[in-house]
Amino acid sequence: MRHRRKPLTHIPVIVLAFVAIAASAHALAQRQGPARSPNAGAPGLTQVLGRPADRSITLSVLSPVDLEAYVEFGTKAGEYTTKTDIAKAGAGVPLEIGITGLQPDTRYHYRLRDRRPGETTFREGQPGSFHTQRAPGATFAFALQGDSHPERLNRMYDPGLYRLTLSNVQKDQPDFYVMMGDDFSVDPLISRGQLSQQNVDQLYIDQRQFIGAIAASVPLFLVNGNHEQAARYKFVFAHHVLGTGRGAVEMADLYEWGGKDRNGESLFAKYRPGWVLPIHQLMVKTGVTIFFQGHDHLFARQEKDGLIYQEVPNPADNTYTAFNADAYDPATISLPGASYDPTYGVTMPNAGYLDVTVSPGIA
């Protein structure tokens, strides 16, 4: 599909801890030198763990020079019984090394071994470790940070204090770490007329010098903030509109979703005081491109206020039926004056799936 427009059975116990850094450590932290990943095998090399799963994890390696590297790992510190294949990467090109064949709910110890062109021996990186996805129901811990804003030096950002914060994260050893966005702001580049791929890349390289200090042993998840300017297309996924009923735009004006009752009276402010906007209006305001839903067992594409509502078909229905098509108003399924337009509005029966391609100019 291409689009040319821009029951819980128990209550878990969740312990939240907010870790603050004392101001008395500020002066000392400021004097510390540039951060370098403790797992770096060569100068300037950074390592970031990501995509943690029950039987695999990925190590992202970034080096300022051409590199050959592999990872050796095992379940005992200092004993590396298994290794990955040797992989190559060019200078400044991230190398992703998949570490597979792991056991769930297990701590692994690893180290990167790398060599530069012309070298015959692989140097030994510093040891690191990670824990694979824990068993369902088991206790786990994660940590989060908000807006580091490295572009706001001496206003909202102190590199030494940031380094000290991350060193405390490293000591705590959470199962994973979430960065909540505004860590790679491109706004200053735009305002100075310096927006280029090289300059944007450098923002990520600079941030890796800090997060590499923890992410070599703590898998990382990144969230785009409002200053990253990265999410050209926004997709929202849910089982269906409103949590009940059939249809899509036919339901989009109602209750929490659209703010009106079935008589068309706007009651959102009365019944949901303090809520900013109904869900549909919020998606429109924030530029959501497509809302994907299931539940109705057919293919149906609609548009409301520039937002595409896309119903997804059943993949295994051998009756090949367009179930619940009567819930969709034909007037919302086609362009004005057109009875059928395969590029815009159409309903189709099962079975099948949706194939979505996203590129810089089209989705």
pLDDT reported for residue 346? 61
- Angstrom distances, CA of residue 267 to CA of 58, 259, 277, 280: 49, 6, 12, 15
Q: What stretch of H or E contains 180?
A: none
Residue 339: CB partners within 8 Å, gap ≥ 6? Answer: none
pLDDT at position 335, please? Answer: 37
Q: How far apart are CA 6 and CA 363, in angstroms?
A: 8
Q: What is the pLDDT of residue 333?
A: 53
Closest to 328 (Cα-Cα) out of 261, 257, 255, 245: 245
One-character DSSP codes across 268-334:
HHHHSTT--S-HHHHHHHTT--EEEE-SS-SEEEEEETTEEEEE---SS-TT---TTGGGS-GGGTS
Contact call for residues 258 and 248 (beta carbons, < 8 A)? no
* Residue 362 identity: I
Q: Cβ atoms within 10 A of the Cβ of 163, count?
A: 18
- The whole-angstrom separation of Cα 308 and Cα 290 is 5
The CATH architecture that domain 23-222 belongs to is: Sandwich (2.60)
* Residues 110-141 pLDDT 10s: 999 999 999 999 999 999 999 999 999 899 99
pLDDT at 317: 85
Amino acid at 96: E
> So what's the pLDDT on residue 40?
43
Give the pLDDT confidence score for residue 331 in this predicted structure: 60
Q: Which positions of the chain have pLDDT values less than 50?
A: 1-41, 334-344
What's the farthest any 2 CA atoms get from each other in the chain?
A: 78
Which amino acid is it at 89?
Answer: A
pLDDT at 358 (0 to 100): 84
- The helix (run of H) or strand (run of E) holding residue 63 is none
Q: Where in the chain is the domain with CATH 2.60.40.380?
A: 23-222
